[in-house]
Amino acid sequence: MSKSYDYSSSSSYSSIDYERAKETLDVSIYNEYTKDKPLEGDYPWEYIVEPYRKTTLCVTNAIEGYYYSWYVNDWHQEDGTNITMLFLSPTGDYSTVKVYMIDSTTDVVQTSAEINVMIKYVRREIRSLIDQDRLAFFNAVSIMQRVPTSVGKKIYGDKYRSRDYFNRIHLYYGGNITCDHWHQGPGFVTSHITFSLLFEQSLQAINPSISLPYWDFTLESTLYTPKTFRYSGVFSNDWFGDSVCSNEYHTPSEGRFAYVPVMEDASKFSLLVNSYGLLRSPWNADPTPYLTRSNDIYNWENNLKPSGCSEYYNSLIMKVLSCCHVYSHCTH
């Protein structure tokens, strides 16, 4: 049995600290994100660990003459003042972490600590992701853009859904001729929460370490002007790609979003298509068979930028949910 120790701080212990360390273990749990910046928020759990993410368990008041043995759900993991492991249990479940302080000479347990940790995915702003996680996200999105649902389910499991699956749902509820069920009423908040969760679960079917990042475009609103925000790093070729597409197709021409196809002859797949049979809103008379982006509206330059903090503040203080979409997407 290998035993690792790190007593770099033990020499500075006072006699009181030393005696306390023999009775009470101080435990720290963190990953590469939370080591220097712990999670903030009014959560009902004292300890949160993220599934499929390398997690460090550490006794912060370790002392010489003892070794520390770690168990998770009664399964022995490793010995040492700190160990690294992955939590693979389903999200929303607790795992029980136990650490025993054991006399190195007699192998007698001096004391122990027990902690219940909640396993939860954590969503972060896309710019705060480490490169490896951001790349994993974009790679999974690329798969969803090109692998149909029927094929993907055979490869990745039942929770896989393709880009076209999500486009069709959004058309049915946001592009129905009767009314917009998702954007002009109180259903905006709940529908988009569920929509995002389904999208995230599809990403996780491809790579279970992924959590769906979000784009805080109030940063673009704050740090850029209407003429410059489209040149934010978010629109670099290795991220979401060009947002000012001046080619004949108005589509990104470089990067993973270059010439992403739109389903053609889509009436066999969706009840709602555009006049060219593409999987687009019925009122979107664009014949281009690719994802399109433009800086113009009816050939006029769009001189607006995304919502800022004031718009979101106004959204949060509204007492009527049907106004949330209007304020949160208001541009200025």
Residues 297 and 191 in one domain: yes
Residues 249 and 213 in one domain: yes
Section 59-70 average pLDDT? 95
What is the per-residue pLDDT for 181?
Answer: 81
Section 291-311 average pLDDT? 86
State how far the Cα of 127 lies from the Cα of 321, in Å rounded to an integer.
29
Residue 1 lies in a domain: no
Residues 37 and 142 in one domain: no
CATH number for position 288? 1.10.1280.10
Residue 47 pLDDT grade (very low, low, confident, very high; cuts 50, 70, 90) = very high
Residue 200: which domain range?
126-328
- Helix or strand or coil: residue 192? helix
Q: pLDDT at residue 216 above 60?
A: yes
- What's the number of domains the chain is made of? 2
Residues 80 and 159 in one domain: no
Give the residues across from 68 on adjacent strands: 101
Q: pLDDT at residue 330 above 60?
A: no
Residue 66 lies in a domain: yes
Residues 42 and 168 in one domain: no
Amino acid in the structure at residue 147? V
Residues 276 and 217 in one domain: yes
| Mean pLDDT (the chain, rounded) | 89
Residue 315 lies in a domain: yes
Give the residues across from 242 on adjacent strands: none
Point out the domain boundary residue: 100, 119, 138: 119
What is the per-residue pLDDT for 1?
Answer: 38
**Residues with Cβ < 8 Å from 174, sequence gap 6 or more?**
180, 181, 182, 183, 281
Section 207-211 average pLDDT? 96
Q: pLDDT at residue 2 above 60?
A: no
CATH number for position 81? 2.60.40.10
What is the per-residue pLDDT for 324?
Answer: 66
Residues 57 and 139 in one domain: no
Residue 311 pLDDT grade (very low, low, confident, very high; cuts 50, 70, 90) = confident
Q: Please provide the DSSP assignment of 46-81 as one string.
A: S-EE-TTS-EEEEETT--TTEEEEEEETTEEEEEBS
State how far the Cα of 124 lies from the Cα of 211, in Å rounded to an integer.
8
Residue 15 lies in a domain: yes
Residue 11 pLDDT grade (very low, low, confident, very high; cuts 50, 70, 90) = very low
The lowest-confidence range among 136-150, 209-223, 273-287, 290-304 is 290-304
Identify the CA nearest to 77 among candidates 63, 59, 97.
97
Residues 53 and 166 in one domain: no
Residues 179 and 296 in one domain: yes
State how far the Cα of 70 lies from the Cα of 115, in Å rounded to an integer.
11
Residue 3 pLDDT grade (very low, low, confident, very high; cuts 50, 70, 90) = very low
Residues 134 and 197 in one domain: yes
The lowest-confidence range among 36-45, 48-57, 125-134, 313-322 is 313-322
Q: pLDDT at residue 326 above 70?
A: no
Residues 139 and 280 in one domain: yes
- Express each pLDDT in 12-26 by its tens digit: 556 557 677 678 899
> Would you say 29 and 97 are in contact if contact means Cβ atoms under 8 Å apart?
yes
